[in-house]
Structure 1
């Protein structure tokens, strides 16, 4: 009912623009019915918000054909943070952390004369797995979803939750770091380099499989920033 009411509020010229725009979107065959409806609603909302100022659809978008080209830009329809789900993002973050620390451990041990217990394999796994899962869970929980009705997250709650996640990660790392070498053995430097290279292979495969490529080294961080920006824009339009 609300959508029908909004359509009746459009001027005749804007209604005709929406009609042509929707027809060209469907003709393109690049979006499914749900995606088309979502794009049309977005354009309608923009027209409803600006038509009282005298700005027409043509002034905002040009012709319906140009508007379609704009909305078919792959970047506009790339998956967002909350579209991926926990597992692909957690695996991505775990592998990134594992790679970084594996190479750091390997290079450091090449120049170290002591067998550093803090660079044990269990320490590496704890840093990566605990850090990756906690960080991913925290960002998914605390990043507003711009597609929801109220895309806001309480700032105080966000910082408190994130601080708690960091504390959990550090505690886990400290506990593992003080374990005896028999439980947390330090591998030869070359072993860490090899493990880092293997982790990169898994990282690359996960990116390709789940469509995470092009989202920066720490994909979840960039996706979170994009979602917060879009949510802020949506709130400013209200």
Structure 2
């Protein structure tokens, strides 16, 4: 008993405390390590789950975008097809269809539009036949617009506006061609020269038969030559004046026009002299009264010619 007590007394208290402390710290360290490992594994799992979720969202967005693009492309293709079908001509060409076929193809709106036009034409003084004929001129255009989805009201406006425009449409300017003006001037020269030859015939009866300068062939040659030459000269003068007003260079200078006209007059006079010498039998001198009658007849013919081709002005009478 005493020995055991001595042994207990000899053992220092610090050593006993030191040997007991490690035993107490080992469970705490193990728990700390276990806590750290569990935290890392948890964070790793969370990170992996977040990455998978992000990838899934991106894939879904990509699929949605691709599906949207595909649907838009299909919608555009359908719209293009509809537009092409609307523009595509249906049936016969309206220009080759008869008025009856055109009227049979009218829609209800266009048929009502045509009915109102017909009524307005009749109220304006047109006969039933004239009103139908006037409307028939526009039916091909109405049908062509109808096939592309444009009714007549969209093409022309209200029926009253279209009918008023037709009735009071300004007259189109008529182009007076070069040959028309040349023939007009030639007939005028014929009238003047024939009247002069006729008057001269009353005062030169003795030498009239030998005066080939007043023969019929001379009359015709001078009238045609001077008629076409005067037309060419007046056109050149008008072009020079227009160029001067516009401040540009004329196509043919004025001096050249005058010079060529003088040369042309000498050529015509030489031609008349040759006719008198070479063809005296054809260049007969007619009686004075015949020249006067021809002058009157050609003047009446010229009046009808000018009226037919709507030639006005630019002549002496």
Normalised by the length of structure 1, the TM-score is 0.52
1:190 matched to which residue of 2?
A: 289
Alignment partner of 1:86 is 2:181: no
1:230 matched to which residue of 2?
A: none
Which of 138, 143, 147 lines up with 2:238 in the alignment? 143
**Unaligned segments of structure 1, at least 5 residues:** 1-25, 36-77, 219-238
The whole-number CA distance in structure 2 between the counterparts of 1:129 and 1:187 is 19
2:200 matched to which residue of 1?
A: 108
- Is the alpha carbon distance of 1:194 and 1:151 closer, same or farther for their aligned partners in structure 2, counting shifts above 3 Å? farther
Contact 1:95 1:200 in 2 (8 A): yes
After TM superposition, the structure 1 = structure 2 runs for residues 1-238 of structure 1, keeping only pairs within 5 Å, are: 29-31=168-170, 83-112=175-204, 113-114=206-207, 115=209, 116-144=211-239, 146=242, 150=248, 152=250, 153-179=252-278, 181-217=280-316
- Greater Rg by CA: 2
- Is the alpha carbon distance of 1:141 and 1:85 closer, same or farther for their aligned partners in structure 2, counting shifts above 3 Å? farther
**Which secondary structure state, in structure 2, belongs to the residue aligned with residue 178 of structure 1?**
helix
2:17 matched to which residue of 1?
A: none
2:91 matched to which residue of 1?
A: none
The whole-number CA distance in structure 2 between the counterparts of 1:214 and 1:101 is 21
Contact 1:110 1:189 in 2 (8 A): yes
Normalised by the length of structure 2, the TM-score is 0.40
Structure 1 residues 65-118: Cα deviation after superposition (integer angstroms, max 9, x where no partner): xxxxxxxxxxxxx77xxx422111011110011001111111111121212211
Q: C-alpha displacement at 1:161, in angstroms? A: 2.0
In angstroms, what is the RMSD of aligned CA positions?
3.1
Matched residue count: 146
Q: C-alpha displacement at 1:30, in angstroms? A: 4.2
- Is the alpha carbon distance of 1:202 and 1:151 closer, same or farther for their aligned partners in structure 2, counting shifts above 3 Å? farther
**Unaligned segments of structure 2, at least 5 residues:** 1-163
Contact 1:93 1:132 in 2 (8 A): yes
Say which structure, 1 or 2, has more relative contact order (CA 8 Å, 6+ apart).
1
